[in-house]
Amino acid sequence: MNLRMHRREWLALSAAGAAAWMTRPAWAVVAAQAEDPLVSFTGPQANPYWNNVGPYVTYPQKAPLLRLTDRPIQLETPRYYFRTALTPNEAFYVRYHLPDIPNAIDLKQWRLMLSGNFKKPLELSFDQLQREFHPVTLAAVNQCSGNSRSRFQPRVPGGQWGNGAMGCAEWTGVRLRDVLDRAGIAPGTVQIQFEGLDHGPGPQGKGSHRFLKSWELHEAILNESIIAYAMNGQPLPMLNGFPVRLVMPGKFATYWTKHLTHIRALTEPDTNFWMKPAYQVPDTPGGNTTPEALKEGKVKMVPIGHVNMPVRSFIVDPDDSVAVMRGHPMVVRGIAFSGMGGIRKVEVSTDDGQTWKPARLGRDLGRHAFREFQFVWTPTLAGLQTIAVRATDSTGHTQPDAGVWNPGGYLWNKIERQQVLVLSA
């Protein structure tokens, strides 16, 4: 098939081809191409790649990662880093919305400010934060709302991430609650707003030059969040929010404010662009809707903070770079996680999802962390085989075998598949 395509192109492009353009054989070639569709350029079947297809680039403090965009910086973690439950800091993905990102912070000058409707507005130094509050450590998955957006069908605008806009780290810091309590939330407060140090023009005319996120005062996540100053026992890389960032376990990373420097107690709900219309999902089961329903104006949208991350699982090995041998056992492995409770079970299918067998779970790093799994597979059939993986969390949620659709390209958690070439030798 490729040979034929090349021949067509050659006919169309060469001088001889140009001269012959109006003759019958050239038209026959055109007609043949019109009748014979190429493989689809869009949709899940068009992109067999686990990661986005950007180039490897190296930014300060980072290993080579897959670049999605440069302004703002967006970098995806390559698949092989998910062999372990903790993602190395230098390989941790990067997502920004605004182009002006700090490249140096003077910790003596730096302050975490609490202002607005607090009884006792505060300015905490980095030193105070570390010494005056009780430290806590928690392993938790940070996943972009738009992770795997490139799978959406029909396509939606936004960064066309593969599966690598996620990572799991052990975060150390202080409880957000303790810091809020020190300032004392005054009556009349309706929301708490978070702001980082990055800025710059966002979408034009939207007043979006600061990335602001807010929570309703009653949200339980405000009691579970950490203001983290360490990541896997090291300072945070600049691109992951040095010197401190929010960690909101179970929630999508859009709320995990990097370079956190300002916390405000609001007496009016936050209506800034990054809360609405950005980062909204349909208020439907699984955040699923259709372009038609959306067009008819029937879909109620809510901030993505209303939901926790749905359960997902990923095959890391084998990928499509190796062939395996019929009759020889090999290990299928990967990771699973859920924002709704720990992983209870991971199952692997070696017949494209018709039958499922339990995988062995690895070490439990806590209910918010990646959970490694392994499954020993002895292929009995040669040729291209399709393996699949499906996880179930402790609240009984499992993964659908159909893709979700919503206009933001959020909440993808369809069962993952991997084609494997089995040799018969």
94 lies in the site for ligand MTE, by CB under 6 A: yes
The candidate with the shortest Cα–Cα distance to 202, out of 301, 272, 103, is 272
CB nearer ligand MTE, residue 255 or residue 375: 255
Q: Which does 238 bind (CB under 5 to 8 A by kind): Mo ion, ligand MTE, none?
A: none
76 lies in the site for ligand MTE, by CB under 6 A: no
Question: Residue 336 CB, nearest distance to ligand MTE (Å)?
Answer: 19
Tokens of 224: 């579970």
CB nearer ligand MTE, residue 50 or residue 242: 242
Rg (CA), the chain: 24
198 lies in the site for ligand MTE, by CB under 6 A: yes
Q: Which residue is nearest to Mo ion (CB)?
A: 144
Q: Cα–Cα distance between 309 and 404 in angstroms, integer?
A: 13
CB nearer Mo ion, residue 254 or residue 280: 254
Q: Could you tell me which stretch among 16-24, 90-98, 358-366, 380-388 binds ligand MTE (CB under 6 A)?
A: 90-98
Tell which positions 104-143 bind ligand MTE, by CB under 6 A.
142
Question: Residue 76 CB, nearest distance to Mo ion (Å)?
Answer: 12
CB nearer ligand MTE, residue 254 or residue 399: 254
Q: Are 414 and 404 in contact (CB under 8 A)?
A: yes
344 lies in the site for ligand MTE, by CB under 6 A: no
Residues 6+ apart with CB under 8 A from 315: 332, 333, 334, 387, 388, 389, 416, 417, 418
Q: Are 336 and 345 in contact (CB under 8 A)?
A: no
- The 3-class secondary structure across 109-167, one letter per residue, is CCEEEEEECECCCEEEEHHHHHHHCCEEEEEEEEECCCCCHHHCCCCCCCCCCCCCCEE
DSSP state of 350: S
Tell which positions 176-195 bind ligand MTE, by CB under 6 A.
none
Residues 6+ apart with CB under 8 A from 218: none
262 lies in the site for ligand MTE, by CB under 6 A: no
Residues 6+ apart with CB under 8 A from 122: 112, 113, 114, 179, 182, 183
Q: Which residue is nearest to ligand MTE (CB)?
A: 196
Question: Residue 94 CB, nearest distance to ligand MTE (Å)?
Answer: 4
Q: Cα–Cα distance between 139 and 245 in angstroms, integer?
A: 14
Q: Cα–Cα distance between 281 and 266 in angstroms, integer?
A: 23
CB nearer Mo ion, residue 148 or residue 392: 148
Question: Residue 199 CB, nearest distance to ligand MTE (Å)?
Answer: 9
CB nearer Mo ion, residue 52 or residue 254: 254
Tell which positions 142-171 bind ligand MTE, by CB under 6 A.
142, 144
Tokens of 402: 């159909």
89 lies in the site for ligand MTE, by CB under 6 A: no
Out of 50, 81, 82, 96, which residue is the one contacting ligand MTE (CB under 6 A)? 96
Phi-psi region of 98 (alpha: psi -120 to 50; beta: other; left: phi over 0): beta
Q: Which does 259 bind (CB under 5 to 8 A by kind): ligand MTE, Mo ion, none?
A: ligand MTE
Question: Residue 363 CB, nearest distance to Mo ion (Å)?
Answer: 27
Residue numbers at the binding site for ligand MTE (CB under 6 A) = 92-97, 142, 144, 196, 198, 211, 240-241, 253-254, 256-259
